[in-house]
Amino acid sequence: MVMAHTADPQPVVHKPHGWRRWLFATNHKDIGTLYLWFAFCMFLVGGVLALCIRTELFRPGLQFFQPALFNQLTTLHGLIMVFGAIMPAFTGLANWMLPLMLGAPDMAFARMNNWSFWLLPPAMALLLLSFLVPGGAAATGWTLYAPLSVQLGMGMDLTIFAIHILGVSSIMGAINIVVTIINLRAPGMPMMRMPMFAWASLITAYLIIAVMPVLAGAVTMVLTDRHFGTHFFNAAGGGDPILYQHVFWFFGHPEVYIMALPAFGIVSQVIPTFARKPLFGYTSMVYATSSIGVLSFMVWAHHMFVTGMPATAQLFFMYATMLIAVPTGVKVFNWIATMWEGSMSFETPMLFAIGFILLFTIGGLSGVTLSVAAVDVQLHGSYYVVAHFHYVLVAGALFSLFAAVYYWFPKMTGRMYGERLGKLHFWWSLLWFNVTFFPMHFLGLAGMPRRIPDYALQFTTFNQIASVGAFMFGLGQLIFLFNILHSLRHGKTAPQQPWEGANTLEWRLPTPAPYHSFHEAPELETAENGVVLDMRGGKHG
C-alpha cells in the first residue's frame, strides 16, 4: 500500500493445475465449485434412494425391499439430502458468491474452507458404507430416535461418526461465512445495505453454529448409551427416550430454517433482477429473516405433540409456531410486491423463483395446518407430513438452488446455459413435482403412515401416481445435468451483464469472474439489497 508503483504491475496469478488445484483448493471459487458438484452428486444418490422407495411403494405388499432395508432407504435418503445435498449446495453458493457480492478478495479462512469441504466426502462415504456392514445402515428415520438408535447394529455407529464429521464441516463453513460477512465487506457496503443473500447466509451460519453442536451432543449421548453404559435415553436406568426427541428437535427445527433461509436470500436476489425493480421492503426482509432465526429456537416441541405433553406446553408451541408464519408471510408479500408493476421477464431463474414462491407457500400453509396441536395428533407421522416438508424442501430449497445456479451460471463459467432446456427443466420439474407430492396430502389425510414399505389397498392409486411422478421428476434432473455439462463447453459466451436488471456487485466483475477477484477492495456506493450505484478501484488477477 505504501509503496508507489511506477507502473501498474500485473499481479501474479497463482492458479495450480490438475488434482492439486482441487485437493489443496483455497480459492473460494474452486471450493464453491467443489461444494456444488459434490452436492449435485449427493442429490443424485439421495434421489436414487428415493426412487427405490417409490418403486417399493408402487404396489401394496412387499416386492423389492424387506422392511428392514426399506427403513434404511428412507433414513439414508433423508440424511443424504439434508446433510449431503442441500446444506453443502447452499454453502457452496455462499462460497462462490459472497466474496463477489461483498467485494472481498476471498473467504476469511481459506485453509479452513478447504477442510470444511474435504471433510464432506469421508462423512458421506461412512454413511454409504453403513449399507454394507452387518445389520445395515441406520434404520431409524433421519431423526435417529432413541431407543431404536440405541439398539441398532454398527451401521448406527458409522452414522453417528458421519454426523460428527458433517457437524465439524458445517460449523467450519459457517464460521467462515460469518467472519467473511462481518469483517471483509468492501468500504461502502454497510450491513443494512448488503444483499439479502448475504443476510440470509449470515443468519443461517449463526443458526448452524448454534445448533450443530447440539446435534453432535445428542448423537454422542446415543453413542455412550450404546457402548459406555450410560442411560440418557434408557427408561430403566433413569433416562428418557422422550428426552432424545427434545434435544434432537432443539437442533432439528432451526435446521429446517438452515435449509430455508438461504433459499429466501436467493429468491430475494433473483426476483428484483427479473422484475427490474428494487426489492420491496428490504428492511422488513432483514428483520423478518432475523426473527425467523430467533423464533426457530422456540418451536421445537411442535414435532412432539403426540408424546403426551401437557396441554399448556402444546398451546405454547402451537402459537409460537403459528407466529413464524408472520415473518414468512412478510417475505412472501414483499416478493409479490416486488413483482407488482415490474417489467418482468421470465428467464429460467425467474421461473424457478416464482415456482418457489408458489409451492413454498403451499408448503408453508400445510405447515400452519400441522402446527395446530389438535390436528397434528391426526396427521403426525402420516404422509401429510411427507408432503409438507417436500413442498418446503424440494420446491423450496431445491428450486431456489436451481434458480441460483441458472442465475449465476454465466458469471461462474463465462457461458450461457441453454435457455430452452432450462425452461423445459423448470416446467418438467414443476409438473412432476406436484404429481409426486400433491397426492401425498390425500394419503396422509386418509391415514397412510410414513416410513412403511407396505400399505392398505385403498392407498394404491395415489401411491402409483406419486411413484410415476417421482420417476419423471428424477428423469427431468438429467435435463439439468445435460444442460450444465453441454453449456460448460458449448454454451454461448456470456456478456458481463447477462441480465438487464442485475445490479449487485458480482455483475461489475468481468465474465467469467476472474480467478482472483477484488484483491484490492473497491470503493462502493450502494443502495439496499447490495445494489451498486458506483464503484471505484477494485483490482482483479
Partner 1 sequence: MAEAGRAANTVLLRRLLLVVLLMFGFAWGLIPLYRVICEVSGLNRVVAADRLADDGSTTAAVRPVQLVLDTMVQPGLPWQVLPPARQLQVRTGQFIQLQYTLRNNSRQAVVGQAIPHYLPAEAAAYVKKLECFCFRQQVFQPGETRHFPVVLVIDRRLPAEIGSITLSYSVFDVPGQGEGRP
Which residue number, 34 or 108, has a Cβ lying nearer to partner 1? Answer: 108
Binding residue for partner 1 (CB under 8 A) from 70, 142, 197, 250? 250
Which residue number, 134 or 308, has a Cβ lying nearer to partner 1? Answer: 308
In 233-345, the DSSP E strands lie at: none
Taking the C-alpha atoms of residue 337 and residue 252, their distance in angstroms, rounded to an integer, is: 32
Residues in 477-496 that interact with partner 1 by CB under 8 A: none
Binding residue for partner 1 (CB under 8 A) from 179, 358, 372, 431? 179
Cell of 90: 447452499
Taking the C-alpha atoms of residue 540 and residue 329, their distance in angstroms, rounded to an integer, is: 41
Binding residue for partner 1 (CB under 8 A) from 218, 357, 359, 470? 218
Cβ 207 to partner 1 shortest distance, Å: 11
Verify whether residue 302 is a known catalytic residue: yes
Taking the C-alpha atoms of residue 386 and residue 364, their distance in angstroms, rounded to an integer, is: 13
Cβ 241 to partner 1 shortest distance, Å: 11
The C-alpha cell 418457489 sits at: 356
Amino acid identity of residue 438, one-letter, is: F
* 209 binds partner 1 per the rule CB under 8 A: yes
Verify whether residue 526 is a known catalytic residue: no
Verify whether residue 257 is a known catalytic residue: yes
Cβ 439 to partner 1 shortest distance, Å: 33
> What are the CA-CA distances from residue 198 to residues 169, 519, 524 (Å)?
20, 20, 16
Binding residue for partner 1 (CB under 8 A) from 45, 49, 165, 184? 184
Which residue number, 173 or 367, has a Cβ lying nearer to partner 1? Answer: 173
Amino acid identity of residue 130, one-letter, is: S
Residues in 106-145 that interact with partner 1 by CB under 8 A: 108-109
Helix (H, G, I), strand (E, B) or coil at 493: strand
Cβ 251 to partner 1 shortest distance, Å: 8
Cell of 201: 447466509
Q: Which of 29, 185, 302, 388 is catalytic?
A: 302
Cβ atoms within 10 Å, residue 414: 17
> What are the CA-CA distances from residue 411 to residues 415, 482, 499, 514, 535 (Å)?
8, 19, 11, 10, 18
Judge whether 393 and 259 are in contact, CB under 8 Å: yes
Cell of 490: 458449448
Verify whether residue 328 is a known catalytic residue: yes
Binding residue for partner 1 (CB under 8 A) from 175, 196, 260, 275? 175
Q: Which of 193, 303, 390, 415 is catalytic?
A: 303
> What are the CA-CA distances from residue 404 to residues 90, 189, 352 (Å)?
10, 22, 9
Q: Which stretch binds partner 1 (CB under 8 A): 240-248, 373-381, 483-491, 522-530?
A: 240-248
Ramachandran sector of residue 317 (left: φ over 0; alpha: ψ -120 to 50; beta: rest): alpha
The C-alpha cell 425467474 sits at: 350
Judge whether 446 and 459 are in contact, CB under 8 Å: yes
Verify whether residue 450 is a known catalytic residue: yes
Binding residue for partner 1 (CB under 8 A) from 13, 23, 182, 377? 182
Strands 531-539 and 520-527: antiparallel
Helix (H, G, I), strand (E, B) or coil at 527: strand
Q: Which of 29, 77, 390, 425 is catalytic?
A: 77
For residues 270 to 309, the per-residue mask of contacts with partner 1, x marking binding by CB under 8 A and - elsewhere, is --------------------------------------x-
* 241 binds partner 1 per the rule CB under 8 A: no
Q: Which of 59, 276, 423, 450 is catalytic?
A: 450
Which residue number, 59 or 519, has a Cβ lying nearer to partner 1? Answer: 519
Binding residue for partner 1 (CB under 8 A) from 3, 12, 20, 183? 183
> What are the CA-CA distances from residue 436 to residues 386, 391, 395, 430, 481 (Å)?
11, 10, 12, 10, 21
Which residues, listed in sequence order, are joined to residue 203 by a DSSP beta bridge? none
Binding residue for partner 1 (CB under 8 A) from 243, 323, 368, 472? 243
Verify whether residue 255 is a known catalytic residue: yes
Which residues, listed in sequence order, are joined to residue 415 by a DSSP beta bridge? 493
Binding residue for partner 1 (CB under 8 A) from 17, 229, 341, 374? 229
Verify whether residue 253 is a known catalytic residue: yes
Cell of 9: 504491475
* 211 binds partner 1 per the rule CB under 8 A: yes
Cell of 251: 437442533
Cβ 221 to partner 1 shortest distance, Å: 8
Comparing CA positions, the residue from 439, 430, 447 lying closest to residue 466 is 439
Cβ 409 to partner 1 shortest distance, Å: 31
Binding residue for partner 1 (CB under 8 A) from 22, 26, 69, 234? 234
Chain residues binding partner 1 by CB under 8 A are 1, 108-109, 171, 175, 178-179, 182-184, 209-218, 221, 229, 231-232, 234-237, 240, 243, 246-247, 250, 308, 310
- Catalytic positions are 77, 106, 142, 169-170, 253, 255, 257, 268, 302-303, 328, 331, 450
